[in-house]
Amino acid sequence: MTSYTCPRHGQYLAVDLGLPEGFGAVPITVAAQCQACAQAANALKQQTQALVDVQRATWTRWQEAEIPSRFKNRTVANWRPTTKQAAAARIVHTWLSDLDARWKTGEGLLLMGVPGVGKTHLLAGLLTAAVQAGHTARYASWPDIWARFRPPYSEHPEELMRALRKVDFLALDEIGLTVSTEKEQARLFELIDSRYSRRRPTLIATNATAATLASIGERTADRLREACVAVSIPGDSYRGRAPTDKVLLDAPWPINQPTAEALRYIVSVDGQDVEREWEPKAA
Ligand SMILES: [Zn+2]
């Protein structure tokens, strides 16, 4: 038996297969490798695979959240509230500080303010945070959803509604003062009430104020008052300055598509250090 030395783990033995020589047989060479090196490499492979799996799942959930591309780089951290909006910002940060509690109690957020104060920015940032915490999330604008219930009925509204009822964290944007017909109010109530009874957090952005909230339907307004923390975001629109806001335009995406980077590791083979490569498996 031949003995080799691994610089990291010491002595290891080559297994003597005791094959007969001669008879014109092709010599079989079995390389001896340090078992401790192999075990360390396996542990590293498992860790790497687990990490990549989490990254891939997070990326997939983030894609499935359907955050509008213009808002994909918006986070709660890069929302810069004006002095007047400081109180609103505190409420949002407090809500976000314990996402597990929101998930358990189903407590949502009701963002109220005129167009352009940053409601969609916040919805996008809050959903991304939910995705990063391991949840499913979905952004949808109410006028877009409602459009599916009207001619030409080209898409399947029931399928969409099922998805919206099911998702962990739902953000409903642009619930305006236009939820006026009984049919539309009934659809909105159905969705809000279903999530309310299952204790699933819903994030709402609306132009309505606490005083005019009933315009979206009295029953829906009641549910939201009960299930959501109300945040009134004061201030004039800042959308006017947004196109020149370099910081926001250049902000990187908070979640990136994972790249399959090969893992390099060293194993002692027949007393020599050999570098090997391994790639994480596809999901
Ligand atoms: Zn070794």
For the stretch 35-72, pLDDT in tens is 999 999 999 999 999 999 999 999 999 999 999 999 99
For residue 281, the CA-to-ligand 1 centroid distance in Å is: 25
For residue 212, the CA-to-ligand 1 centroid distance in Å is: 71
The arithmetic mean of pLDDT across residues 62-90, rounded, is 95
Higher pLDDT, residue 211 or 171: 171
Q: Which CATH class is domain 73-249?
A: alpha beta
pLDDT of residue 246: 78
For residue 103, the CA-to-ligand 1 centroid distance in Å is: 46
For residue 46, the CA-to-ligand 1 centroid distance in Å is: 18
Neighbours of ion ligand 1 (CB under 5 A): 6, 8-9, 34, 36-37, 268
| Average pLDDT of the chain to the nearest whole number | 90
For residue 43, the CA-to-ligand 1 centroid distance in Å is: 14
For residue 111, the CA-to-ligand 1 centroid distance in Å is: 58
First to last CA, the chain: 42
Tokens of 247: 């910081």
Give the SS3 label for residue 136. coil
* CA–CA distance, 145 with 205 (Å, rounded to integer): 14
Give the SS3 label for residue 273. strand
The band of 132, judged by pLDDT with boundaries at 50, 70 and 90, is very high
Residue % of the chain over a pLDDT of 70: 90
pLDDT of residue 190: 96
The arithmetic mean of pLDDT across residues 234-255, rounded, is 75
**CA dist 42 to 9, 27, 39, 193, 262, Å?**
16, 30, 5, 49, 14
The arithmetic mean of pLDDT across residues 104-119, rounded, is 94
For residue 74, the CA-to-ligand 1 centroid distance in Å is: 47
pLDDT of residue 106: 97
Q: What ranges do the domains of the chain cover?
A: 3-54+259-278, 73-249
For residue 196, the CA-to-ligand 1 centroid distance in Å is: 57
Give the SS3 label for residue 263. strand
Give the SS3 label for residue 14. coil
For residue 5, the CA-to-ligand 1 centroid distance in Å is: 8
pLDDT of residue 261: 84
For residue 93, the CA-to-ligand 1 centroid distance in Å is: 49
For residue 1, the CA-to-ligand 1 centroid distance in Å is: 18
pLDDT of residue 239: 53
**Taking 80 as the threshold, does the pLDDT of residue 283 lie above it?**
no
Higher pLDDT, residue 30 or 125: 125
For residue 35, the CA-to-ligand 1 centroid distance in Å is: 7
Residue % of the chain over a pLDDT of 90: 72
**Taking 60 as the threshold, does the pLDDT of residue 118 lie above it?**
yes
**Taking 60 as the threshold, does the pLDDT of residue 223 lie above it?**
yes
For residue 54, the CA-to-ligand 1 centroid distance in Å is: 29
**Taking 70 as the threshold, does the pLDDT of residue 149 lie above it?**
yes
Please report the sign of the dihedral spanned by the C-alpha atoms of residue 48, residue 53, residue 59, residue 62.
negative
| Tens digit of each residue's pLDDT (9 = 90 or more) over 154-205 | 678 889 999 999 999 999 999 987 767 889 999 999 999 999 999 999 999 9
The band of 20, judged by pLDDT with boundaries at 50, 70 and 90, is low
pLDDT of residue 237: 57
Report the range out of 59-68, 79-88, 241-250 with the highest average pLDDT: 59-68
For residue 280, the CA-to-ligand 1 centroid distance in Å is: 22
Higher pLDDT, residue 156 or 121: 121
The band of 240, judged by pLDDT with boundaries at 50, 70 and 90, is low
For residue 26, the CA-to-ligand 1 centroid distance in Å is: 30
Ramachandran area for residue 257 (φ above 0: left; ψ -120 to 50: alpha; else beta) = beta
For residue 57, the CA-to-ligand 1 centroid distance in Å is: 34
Identify which of 218, 144, 162 has the alpha carbon closest to the alpha carbon of residue 185: 218
Beta strands in 142-226 (DSSP E): 169-175, 202-206
φ, ψ of residue 95 to 5 degrees: the values are -60, -45
